[in-house]
A and B are shown apart, each in its own frame.
Chain A
Amino acid sequence: MLPRRQRPPASGPWGPRPAVLLLAPLLLALQGVAAAPAGAGGPEDSPGLQDAEFPSGLLQQAARAALHFFNFRAGSPSALRVLAAVLEGRATVNPKKGCQVDLVFTTDHYNPEVGEEHLGKCSARVFFRNQKPRPAINVTCTRLIEKNKRQEEDYLLYKHMKQLKTPLDVISIPDSHGHIDPSLRPIWDLAFLGSSYVMWEKTTQFLHYYMAQISSVNQWKTSDDAIDFDYTVLLHEFSTQEIIPCRIHLVWYPGKPLKVNYHCQELQTPEEASGTEEGSAVAPTELNNF
């Protein structure tokens, strides 16, 4: 990946001495623990991170990357999660290699229409390699929805999607006023699922992404019963504020691993050659039910 612009190093965390902080292996022992509703991990966050060596933004960065990866790996458009709050975290910085972040964070249901407050809890180890995207991630989250229920919801979503009339008469989702027609909501959820893979792959310790808008639906069909979805999405990169168009092609069937191909544009600049990034993946499953 061509770095688009030299990010000015903040004074402190990337200083000459390796900074050593506590590792908390017992954070990982939180696997499978039933989630007590997380304490209002609110605006007073980054507890325990008194060290001034790096900004509390790093924890947020790690949480976001972990969630993108989690959502992609779960492969379930009806069970998408968003970040609620970071509860605690520790980081080890190795200026030569990168930095490792261990953290615990809470998550919320992605679909805001869902009334119930179902705060989930995740623990993760995220390793950012210096100047390179695609952080290595180990993440475990408390199981919020019964697996059967999740599969059922995915299947209902799938059936709904199969009934959509093609070609789809849409220009952008959402429209300028943020409105998504309820019948098109599954498209947004599925697009977000595919984008999660792309956003995870592009994330570095400095760059992070959100999905801003689906700018076009190029193709929507069923092939071999799976949903075959080709779309262009606009990703918003926060630190540069840039909008990155990405063409994504995904194939999804409930319960099967998500297959994703993508091709993102980098914006033309006078100094740099334009670059494109491509990637593809098949999501690993927890069950190996091929």
Chain B
Amino acid sequence: MKPLLGTLYLLGILAPEGLGYDGSLAQTRRGVLEETVSPWRNLDTYSYTKYHPMEEIYQWMVQITEKYTGVVTQHFLGMTYETRPMYYLKISQPSANYKKIIWMDCGIHAREWIAPAFCQWFVKEILQNYKDNPRIGRLLRNLDFYVLPVLNIDGYIYTWTTDRLWRKSRSSHNNGTCFGTDLNRNFNVAWCSIGASKDCHHLTFCGTGPVSEPETKAVSSFVESKKESIVCFLTMHSYGQLILTPYGYTKNKSSNHEELIQVGQKAANALKKKHGTNYRVGSSADILYTTSGSSRDWARDIGIPFSYTFELRDNGTYGFILPASQIQATCEETMEAVLSVLDDVYEKYWDSDSAVKMTLTAMVLGLLVSFMSVL
């Protein structure tokens, strides 16, 4: 009996690995870790400190959704120019509460690999910690997270197959003589007025018209449809170590500019505490350069109050080709910054203290008014 059980036990351990074609088995067999795309990668062995090709990110989204059913759902957003599906993840804890939405997108520029890496890290952190971590748990009580891990999928794939430093999408122009639109110049806000080019050869090509690109259309249609609920729009880029507020298309400031700077500065301070990295905070036109048609400016102008562009590490030493060895530190510090913003957003709308104060004030005023009318 015992030897039989022992044999069955052994089989139980070996069988899943023996049957599944996954990375761990490949490592054992060949003795060398090869970076092959494995159709059956186990989520437990998924490395968040490596860069992943698009096929693996698609798989990861499916597996994350399966592992955390009830909290995560995957949704179709639209098709890219090269007819690839765009998916976002919705992280939402079921409750009777009316939720507001936090939107985060990564990889609108293909070569900024650290950004999609951060989106994946962010999702992982939220899901692994929302039950035990009160800070994250609190956020999920009233907020839903919508995360688009790779916006410019065609471009991202192109950086893996052909040109590591490609930036734009892969749409064809001028009878196939030039390719790609800068998706972050294609949104319908002061389109192509400044800081963008009408020349399809240029890397800041704004497209053939506002929202001419299917990727831009997919994102803006969706965000527009949810704009009443979205309180925070975060778009992740690299490099430069900046937290940018609106606007790029003008030096004028948004109505809540002071608040955005304050929240942004607090986030930069939280980020710096983690690994000492310096981030600067300011409007795009002030501290970076002028741009028109950016998603951040567009989001602000359709009424989303907290709209930021994050430019992640580094400062130019490696630039876009940030070593994978820096993924962890970058993601950890960025996580602190994003959580800081989310805390401020949460406290603005749901802080129980301020809610009570507002109710009391309203009551007192109401009483005063009735007294006045009696006199």
Contact = CB atoms under 8 A, between A and B. Distances in A.
Interface in B325-347: 325-326
Interface string A14-27: 00000000000000
B323 A174 contact: yes
Given A12-B251, A43-B268, A45-B280, A241 B321 contact: no
B171 interface: no
B202 interface: yes
B320 A43 contact: no
Interface string B281-305: 1100111111000000000000000
Contacts of B251: 10-12
Interface of A: 5, 8, 10-12, 41-45, 55-57, 64, 82-85, 110, 112, 172, 174, 176-180, 210-213, 234, 236, 238-243, 267-271
A241 B203 contact: yes
Nearest to A269: B201
A267 B202 CA distance: 9
Contacts, number: 103
B92 interface: no
B324 interface: yes
A44 B268 CA distance: 10
Contacts of A179: 323-325
Contact of B201 (A55, A238, A270): A270
A177 B278 contact: no
29 contacts: A8-B195, A8-B290, A10-B290, A11-B251, A42-B278, A43-B268, A43-B269, A43-B278, A44-B265, A55-B286, A55-B287, A56-B287, A57-B287, A84-B278, A177-B321, A178-B326, A179-B325, A210-B319, A212-B165, A212-B321, A236-B165, A236-B320, A242-B202, A243-B165, A243-B203, A269-B199, A269-B201, A270-B199, A271-B199
A5 B194 CA distance: 12
B54 to A, nearest CB: 14
A110 B317 contact: yes
Contact of A5 (B197, B322, B324): B197
B167 interface: yes
B319 A236 contact: yes
Given A56-B286, A271-B199, A176 B164 contact: yes
Given A11-B251, A179-B323, A268 B201 contact: yes
Top 3 A-B pairs, shortest CB-CB distance: A178-B323, A210-B316, A241-B203
A155 B149 CA distance: 46
A243 B317 CA distance: 15
A242 B168 CA distance: 11
Contacts of B272: 42-43
B318 interface: yes
Contacts of A176: 51, 159-160, 164, 321
A3 to B, nearest CB: 14
A66 to B, nearest CB: 14
B-side interface size class: 35 or more
B74 interface: no
Q: Of B160, B272, B317, B324, which is in contact with the most chain A CB atoms at under 10 Å from its CB?
A: B317
Interface string B174-216: 0000000010000000000011010101111000000000000
B279 interface: yes
B315 A213 contact: no
Nearest to A242: B203
B288 A57 contact: yes
Contacts of B323: 174, 177-180
Chain A contact residues: helix, strand, loop or mixed: loop
Contact of A43 (B195, B265, B318): B265
Given A56-B287, A238-B289, A269-B201, 10 more contacts: A43-B281, A45-B280, A55-B287, A57-B289, A64-B316, A82-B316, A178-B318, A179-B323, A179-B324, A180-B323
A272 to B, nearest CB: 10
A184 B316 CA distance: 20
A112 B317 contact: yes
A270 B200 CA distance: 10
A203 B339 CA distance: 37
A251 B148 CA distance: 48
A127 B152 CA distance: 40
Contacts of A177: 50-51, 321, 323-324
Nearest to B160: A176
B287 to A, nearest CB: 6
Contact of B202 (A5, A112, A210): A5
A180 B285 CA distance: 35
A45 to B, nearest CB: 6
Contacts of B322: 178
Contacts of B318: 174, 178
Contacts of B289: 57, 238-239
Contacts of B315: 82-83
A189 B287 CA distance: 29
Contacts of A242: 202-203
A212 B164 CA distance: 10
A174 B321 contact: yes
A5 B66 CA distance: 50
A240 B202 contact: yes
A109 to B, nearest CB: 11
Nearest to B168: A241
A43 B317 contact: no
Nearest to B174: A270
Interface string B144-161: 000000000000000110
Interface string B7-27: 000000000000000000000
Contacts of B51: 176-177
